[in-house]
Structures are given as C-alpha cells and as structure tokens.
Structure 1
Amino acid sequence: MNPIPYLPAGTVYGTLLNFRREHALWAPRMHEAPYKAPPQAPVLYIKTANTFTPSGHPITLPRGVAEVEVCASVGLVAGEGGAIVGAVLCNDVAIPHESYYRPPVKFRNVDGFFGVGDGVRPVGDLSSLASLVLELRVDGVMRQRTALADLVRDVATLWADVNAFQSMRPGDVLMVGTDCLDDGTRPRVKAGDSVEITATGFSPLVNHFVQETV
C-alpha cells in the first residue's frame, strides 16, 4: 500500500520580499503611496487548503489562463510550543501579476495552486538550512537556482519575527519566501509542462501541469 502523501495540517503562510534580489528591485518603490516606507515586519499571505496538491499529482490551469508562475520555496513546519520541527519543499503557483504588496487571492489561491513535497525533513539545527540550494527544472531543463543564503531574514530571524505578532500552531507552515529571476519575474509554465524542485536531503517535488477542459 502506498503511503498517504503529506499535506499541511494547519495554515500555510507565504512570505514576500524576503530575498535580497527582489527586495532590492522593489526598494525604490517602497517609499511610494500608500505605505511610503519599507515594511518593518515580515509581509505574509495565506495559501488556503483548496490549493494543496501532493507531489506527483497534476496542477490544473483554469480556463483562460495560458501560463502560470512557479516558485520554489521551503516551508517551515511548526510543532508544539512554537518550535520548528521540520521543513518541506513547496511550489507556490500563481497567475502572473504585478503587485507583491497586496496580491489578490484570486491570483494565488486557485484550486491546486500549491505543490507540496511528499515528506517533512526533520530539522534539528536551523543553521543547516542556511546553505540549502533549491533547483527548479521545467521538463528537465534548469530554470532557477535559489540559495537560502540570500534571504533578507534568515530562517531563525523570520520565524522569531513572525511569532512576535502571531502564534504558529502545530501543523502550520511558514514559507521562507521565493526568489525572482534577474529581471524580477518568476519562471513560467504552461499546460503540458512538468516542474521538478529538488534540494539536498529532500525527496523531489514533481507536479505536471494540465489545462482545465470542462
């Protein structure tokens, strides 16, 4: 009998502007209205339960959507007492959009738009994640390498800063963020493409993209 694939048992939070490249690209606009200053705390959004798709399962593009962004990340899994008990690979899928300050849920929370690795890697020493590099391939071709050494807030700092204003409950997942390409965009895929995200110590996260037909 095949094991039941892992899916988050709590709320999944994404983190924006937590990679140096994207933060630097947006820095000139951070003093514009309506905020008029850089964010002082982590900027979060939610991936709702309808978006969860296990590794190995297809992700469906809605009618009228020709391509989507795919974003490799690591999710920190909360345990008892607010501690990090593990990490999981994530593919944060979104319909391409310009705003990263208040991304509308209709772009990020489409059914199936969150690929989840098939297992949680135990994490005893948070510093071990600092050297982690994620590789994202589309149909076997390398499209992006993401180094957690490039985080604005490292894993421990991000976790502490988020817990300063909200409690992470057992089963909740906090993504450390997603990096952009040099031009500020994310890799894009269309129906028929297969995306694989890998990192040392993790099982590959693989999702195939199909087009809605009904």
Structure 2
Amino acid sequence: MRRAASEIATGTLFGIALNYQGLLESRLQEFNEPPYQKPPQKPVLFIKTPNTRSTDGQAVSAPAGERLQPGPALGVVIGKTASRVDEKNAFAHVAGYVVVNEFSLPEDSYYRPAVKAKCRDGFCAFGNDVIPTGEIADVHALVIKLLVNGEVRQENTTANFVRSIPRLISELSEFMTLHEGDVLITGTPEGRVDVLPGDEVVVEISGLGRLTNHIVAE
C-alpha cells in the first residue's frame, strides 16, 4: 500500500555523493591528485538537515548571488532497523522508494560536502508518495529525468549506480544503525545544471512519478 512520504519518510536524510559511474569517472583525475591522493574507497556521505525538507509544489528559494542546482535522485526509505545487514538480506529492510530533488549550491569538495551548499531551507524536496518495493520490478533499471521549464536537462538510469542499494545498506549499516523512516538519497547523476528564479523544475522517475518545484528569489 502506498503511503504519504510525510508519514513514513520522517527520519534522518543520508545523501550519497559520487554514486553514478559517469560522475565518479569524470572526477578520477582530480581524485588522484592532492589533497585526495586516491578515489574514495567507501560511500561518501552527507546529511540533509530537517530544515531542508520540502514537498511537491513547494517553492524553493535561490540564494542571492549564488548558483542553485537541482539534483534528481531516488530516495530509499528504510522500513525496519538495519544494523550490520548482509547484502542478500538488505531489501527486507526497505519500505519503498520516493522521488527526491536534492538541491545544492555548487560543491567545492566531494569529500567534505559543505553544510552551506547542502543544508539551506527547502533544499530537499520529496514526492508525495512512497512507492512500495513490490510495485517496482527492478529498482536498478529506473530512468531518472530532470526537466527545467519542460526541457529535459539531465537523464540517467539507476543501472549506472556505483553501489547498488543492497550494497549501500550493507556498507552503511556496518558502522551505524539505520532506523525506520530514514532515507538514503542514492545520488545525483553527472551534469548538474543551474536554475534561476521563475524556473519550473521537475524530477521524473519511471514507476515512481513526478516531483515539481518552482524556483523563487530569496
């Protein structure tokens, strides 16, 4: 049964950076130089704080003098406590999936995502419904699109994840407990675009639906 995201996706919001193969590959040369020295060996995490929560249809403010970038993403809603979960059992801990738009200012560092860039008011919009796992035949074959004023500006597929959802749950739950209602924001594809006040921003994920936000001046 579908449930409202506002009722079930109520926990901590964990963002996963660099989880699309194209994005990671585009930064490999940079990661082999100081200060990084080598590409990340574990998931690169950041937190979206409670003030970032937004909903379908809600306006998102573009900070004056800053570049605002939407981030189409698949959200994985945890359905029961997950601690030291094996990959083969990981889906048993998933309640369902939700469309997410993870807004951000441009990022200077993927290893230390800035609070200023990630955690402004309204910078994490959620679709209305959490789609149960049973309604999605293959969560690693979903098409994700970002449309700005009706034009497709980004398109990718969850087949291009660096880490699958079971692997993410296994690796994260190895060192921290995931609780019912927590959300894993599984990454934004390469090619983020800038948006401006007056723009309509839509995220579409096949089988999950659409999420629409309008950009306004701060």
| TM-score of the pair, normalised by structure 2 | 0.87
CA distance in structure 2 between the aligned counterparts of 1:34 and 1:98, rounded to whole angstroms: 13
Is 2:208 the partner of 1:198? no
Question: 5+ unaligned residues in a row in structure 1: which ranges?
Answer: none
Amino acid across the alignment from 2:210: P
Task: Report the number of matched residues.
Answer: 205
Is 2:144 the partner of 1:134? yes
Q: CA-atom RMSD, angstroms?
A: 1.9
1:203: how far off?
2.8
- Please list, as runs of the form range in 1=range in 2, the aligned pairs for 1:91-130 lying within 5 A after superposition: 91-124=101-134, 128-130=138-140
Counterpart of 1:208 in structure 2 is: 214
In structure 2, relative to structure 1, the CA distance for the partners of 1:42 and 1:4 (3 Å cut) is: closer
- Please list, as runs of the form range in 1=range in 2, the aligned pairs for 1:31-70 lying within 5 A after superposition: 31-65=32-66, 67-70=67-70
Is 2:190 the partner of 1:180? yes
| TM-score of the pair, normalised by structure 1 | 0.89
| Higher alpha-carbon deviation: 155-164 or 51-60 | 155-164
Amino acid across the alignment from 1:79: G
Q: SS where residue 40 of structure 1 aligns?
A: coil
Counterpart of 2:86 in structure 1 is: none
Question: 5+ unaligned residues in a row in structure 2: which ranges?
Answer: 83-92
Amino acid across the alignment from 1:128: D
| Bigger helix share | 2
1:18: how far off?
1.1
Amino acid across the alignment from 2:209: S
Equivalent pair of 1:118/1:203 in contact (CA under 8 Å): no
In structure 2, relative to structure 1, the CA distance for the partners of 1:30 and 1:61 (3 Å cut) is: same
Counterpart of 2:100 in structure 1 is: 90
Residues 41-73 of structure 1: CA deviation (Å, up to 9, x unaligned): 1110000010011011101122333x3111100
Residues 3-23 of structure 1: CA deviation (Å, up to 9, x unaligned): 976273111011111111111
CA distance in structure 2 between the aligned counterparts of 1:153 and 1:164, rounded to whole angstroms: 15
Amino acid across the alignment from 1:26: R
1:159: how far off?
1.6
| Higher alpha-carbon deviation: 111-120 or 94-103 | 94-103
Equivalent pair of 1:6/1:117 in contact (CA under 8 Å): no
In structure 2, relative to structure 1, the CA distance for the partners of 1:126 and 1:26 (3 Å cut) is: farther
1:35: how far off?
3.8
Structure 1 residue ranges, 4+ long, deviating more than 4 angstroms after superposition: none
Equivalent pair of 2:5/2:126 in contact (CA under 8 Å): no
Is 2:160 the partner of 1:150? yes
* Identity %, equivalent residues: 35
Residues 25-51 of structure 1: CA deviation (Å, up to 9, x unaligned): 111222333342322211100000100
